[in-house]
Amino acid sequence: MKISKSISRVLAASLVGVCSVQFAAASTIPSQTTRSTVVGAKTGMIPPTSSVQDLESTLKASYVGTYAIFGSLPDQHKLVLYSSVKQGGNIKDFRDQVIRMRLHR
């Protein structure tokens, strides 16, 4: 009888521990989601870049969504887009160009 009570207590303590960890992890999700999706895409300027790879690094560091779409394009399209922004430019305008290029419009 003592063993079954001990096992029950250990199981109960384990469940409480698991639930509290899951609750703590879940409590951080809304703030992360709110910042990344509700507010919307970041705005700003792309600094001048020296190559397509440099542009990709800049996009990856600051504009992940644009980086993902840009990365899916063929190299020829990347070069065309790079030439339009190599001296720097507005990310919104560049993002619109990337999306149009991806949609072949």
* Tens digit of each residue's pLDDT, the chain (105 residues): 666 666 667 656 565 554 444 444 444 444 333 333 334 567 789 999 999 999 999 999 999 999 999 999 999 999 999 999 999 999 999 999 999 999 985
| H/E element, 45 | strand 45-46
Count of positions (residues) in the chain: 105
User: Tokens for 103?
Assistant: 């949609």
Q: Give the global pTM.
A: 0.59
Give the count of beta carbons closer than 10 Å to the beta carbon of residue 47. 13
